A and B are shown apart, each in its own frame.
Chain A
Amino acid sequence: MDADIISNLALGFSTAVSPINLFYCFIGVLVGTLIGVLPGIGPVAAVAMLLPLTFNLDAVGAIIMLSGIYYGTQYGGSTTAILVNLPGESASVVTCMDGYAMARQGRAGPALAIAAIGSFFAGTVGTILVALLGPPLAEIALKFGAPEYFSLMVMALIAAAVLAHGSMLKTICMIVLGLLVGIVGTDVNSGMSRFTFGASGLADGLSFVVVAMGLFGFAEILCNLQDKADTASRDILNQKITGLMPTAADMKAAFGAIVRGTAVGAFFGTLPGGGPTISAFSAYAVEKKLAKDPSRFGKGAIEGVAAPESANNAAVQCAFITTLTLGIPHGATMALLLGALTIQGIAPGPQVMTQRPDLFWGLIASMWIGNAMLVILNLPLVGLWIKLLKVPYRFLFPAIMVFMAIGVYSVNNLDLDIYMTILFGVLGYIFIKLKCEPAPLILAFVLGPLMEENLRRALLISRGDPTVFITRPISAAFLVATALLLAFMIVPSFRKKREEAVADSEAL
């Protein structure tokens, strides 16, 4: 580790520990945990909903708070997964299996503690990885031209399709649809309005807040209301949580799982298109495969909590590597964070690191501080979160609707945005009905204009010769990786594994 990184991290910590930024970080993780605990509202909707709260902040504070919300939701999601067998969001689905089993055996305390310890370990490793890999990656990225960016985006989108749940063909269709929705508005080159149907409010394109709230907020509520969530009795543990600390034997059993989980999470987190959910599932599968006695899994094996929890947190942290250095968001939530940066007047990309080092390193340091806060916050507050879960859904969803409505309206003070949210909400509900994954759509939505611009530029430079994408080495490497990803899908054994994983997750 060279001196640069130390001094960079020092700058980061000095930025992050300023009282006001500590406060934003605290609010972020607290609100994030709160939303993570509440079922039926995931991180994407959470970040989109709370975006207006950051409009008046400076860029550093805003991004610190929003990322706090993001990893806070992951964390809150696992708390409810363990205590009430209710994943607060999709990345903690797998934690339910062994976490809830442990809780039923009266070992909720150790389960929560090991989740916290694993997450913190993973968060620390993630922070170091971002600090180590960020600068060299940004250096490389500065050399990228239009063909490289275009190929990179193709790879990110195809990876998202391969790693998503459900039919890959349908997911690719969703991606194409997302790209199309992304280019709604004025074409920067010709000044022509596309797909606006004459509405002047669409001239600047659709706001990502509108699309995210519709697809992830509005549609989710519709789905929950259809499932009669209110009448479903929640099996809340009433027993007191005693013996918070895991025993030495627990720690020994979990340690390897935490390290492996972190590695799996770091891998899928750095890979564009990967994310916390796939990391958690893979880490769980790895543990089950390595265990001497796989039958313990699902019956309260501590590794079954430690591995996925470490993995999803590592993935969240590592997602910042590609997002911040390349300016290519990594998943739906990261797309929102980049959108927030844009609103703050900062163009995402490799230049952020050199132009705004306080922002980049401050964010990294704050992620580590935020993870520490989560450990301290979460364990004593467990009682409060359980109380919160007893709030009936019939009070929750109008509250969510109110926040969403204000959030959407406040972006542009435009009633059209509200109507468009309804449209995307209904569309999102149809997508859920037809088992079409909406998360890749929003990723593509953000990449749409970038992709068109880079394609246009690449072909302009090459005078319309498409071989430019394979004659430039870095671009070719991305395309080869994409081809490999697609080839994997055709290999029967991998395909079967993926289908099994999908079936496992759906059976839960």
Chain B
Amino acid sequence: MKIKNQEDFWAGLMFVGFGALAIWLSTDYPMGTASRMGPGYFPTYLGAIMLILGAIVAMTSLKLGNGEKITPFAWKPMIMLSLGFMIFGWGVDHIGFIPALFALCVITAAAGQTFKIVEVLVMSVVLIAGAVGIFIYGIDLPFPLFWWR
């Protein structure tokens, strides 16, 4: 069997998955009745709607389509940006705002095509100076600047 539209096929499967997940998670919450809805009522129905519509999307993709294909994923940027964000999120409280920002700048810059170390260092200094000026001195966000606070 050949899939005519890969985009729709995977999108459909994704929605089926999310729908099933919503229904499954909602089994922990009381359903109640229509007049006295429990916390499980609304999400269960939403999950069911999504599951059905997703299945229709996936099934039609087998028959209809112009051979849409999914372009390859950009793994390196995805990993680098996520890593940069993660270190920032963890870092503000642990190593301070300025080191966390520095890590974020350098790691995200490495996600791009060209990485020139001098350029990136200059850019980081400019961005950090700007961010500290605006957010710490300008609007008083209460972040520790360094690990010694």
A residues contacting B by CB (< 8 A) are 52-53, 55-56, 167, 169-170, 172-173, 176-177, 179-180, 183, 187, 189-190, 192, 194-195, 218, 221-222, 225-226, 228, 230-231, 393-395, 397-399, 401-403, 405-406, 409-410, 413, 415-419, 421-422, 425-426, 429-430, 433-436, 452, 455-456, 459-460, 462-464, 466
User: A434 near B70 (CB under 8 angstroms)?
Assistant: yes
User: B8 near A167 (CB under 8 angstroms)?
Assistant: yes
User: A426 near B77 (CB under 8 angstroms)?
Assistant: no
User: A409 near B92 (CB under 8 angstroms)?
Assistant: yes
Collect the chain A residues with CB atoms within 8 Å of residue B30's CB.
Answer: 190, 192
Known interface pairs A179-B46, A406-B131, A422-B85; A394-B78 also in contact (CB < 8 Å):
no
In this complex, what residue of A is CB-closest to B42? A452
Per DSSP, chain B at the interface is helix
B residues contacting A by CB (< 8 A) are 7-8, 10-11, 14-15, 18-19, 22, 25-26, 29-30, 33-39, 41-43, 46-47, 49-50, 53-54, 56-57, 68, 70-71, 73-74, 77-78, 81-82, 84-86, 88-90, 92-93, 101, 104-105, 108-109, 111-114, 123-124, 127, 131, 134-135, 139-142
Collect the chain B residues with CB atoms within 8 Å of residue A405's CB.
Answer: 85, 88-89, 101, 104
Collect the chain A residues with CB atoms within 8 Å of residue B18's CB.
Answer: 177, 180
User: B112 near A230 (CB under 8 angstroms)?
Assistant: yes
In this complex, what residue of B is CB-closest to A231? B113
Collect the chain A residues with CB atoms within 8 Å of residue B10's CB.
Answer: 434
Known interface pairs A173-B15, A418-B89; A464-B33 also in contact (CB < 8 Å):
yes
Q: Which of B38, B68, B112 gathers most chain A CB within 10 Å?
A: B112
Partner of B74, one of A187, A225, A422: A225
Collect the chain A residues with CB atoms within 8 Å of residue B127's CB.
Answer: 398-399, 402
The distance in angstroms between the C-alpha atoms of A270 and B50, with both chains bound, is 28
The distance in angstroms between the C-alpha atoms of A436 and B14, with both chains bound, is 11
User: A183 near B42 (CB under 8 angstroms)?
Assistant: yes
Known interface pairs A194-B39, A418-B89, A456-B37; A180-B46 also in contact (CB < 8 Å):
yes
Partner of A415, one of B92, B108, B134: B92
User: B42 near A455 (CB under 8 angstroms)?
Assistant: yes
Using A53-B139, A464-B35 as known contacts, list a sample of 19 further A-B pairs with CB atoms less than 8 Å apart, ordered by residue number in A: A170-B11, A172-B53, A176-B46, A187-B39, A190-B29, A194-B26, A195-B25, A221-B81, A231-B113, A397-B108, A398-B104, A402-B101, A415-B90, A419-B85, A419-B89, A455-B42, A456-B37, A459-B37, A464-B34
In this complex, what residue of A is CB-closest to B39? A187
